[in-house]
Amino acid sequence: MLTPLTSDEIARALASLPGWSLKLNALTRSFNLGSFREAMCFMGRIAFEAEELNHHPEWTNVYDRVVIRLNTHDVGGVVTARDVALALRIQRIAEKGAGISSLAAERG
């Protein structure tokens, strides 16, 4: 069974996840992409990873912006190792570009 991560474990995880933060019991990050099409491509690539992990993000999209929140509802809406695993995969997608020409992390 999944267990909530401690504050120290979350802090260590965030150290390897540039641009991510802990907000309201969730790992959170915003991405600004070059266009709506690029945002959809980015979300589609993440969807395959999420499905493989059987862990699905809470996310929103407005034009070229994608906001992602990760926590585990099965254990009360807190951060677990599963959230960190998906965040790391999302980070790799963002860093590689995954066919996205102008991925840029949130500006603030």
> Where residue 17 sits, what CATH number does that domain have?
3.30.1360.20
Task: Report the pLDDT value the prediction gives residue 47, as an integer from 0 to 100.
Answer: 97
pTM here is: 0.88
Which amino acid is present at 62? Answer: V
Q: Is residue 31 part of a domain?
A: yes
Structure confidence at residue 48 as a pLDDT band (50, 70, 90): very high
Q: Is residue 95 part of a domain?
A: yes
Q: Is residue 2 part of a domain?
A: no
Residues contacting residue 6 through CB under 8 Å, at least 6 positions apart:
none
| Residues 103 and 97 sit within 8 Å (Cβ to Cβ) | yes
- State mean pLDDT over 56-85: 96
Which domain range does residue 30 map to?
Answer: 7-105
| Strand locations in 1-108 (E) | 21-23, 26-32, 58-62, 65-70, 104-105
d(CA 48, CA 59): 15
Q: Is residue 29 part of a domain?
A: yes
Other CB atoms within 10 A of residue 72 CB: 21
d(CA 100, CA 93): 9
d(CA 81, CA 87): 10
Q: Is residue 1 part of a domain?
A: no
Q: Is residue 60 part of a domain?
A: yes
Q: Is residue 63 part of a domain?
A: yes
- State mean pLDDT over 73-81: 95
Domain count, the chain: 1
Exposed (0-12), middle (13-18) or buried (19+): which is 103, by Cβ within 10 Å? buried
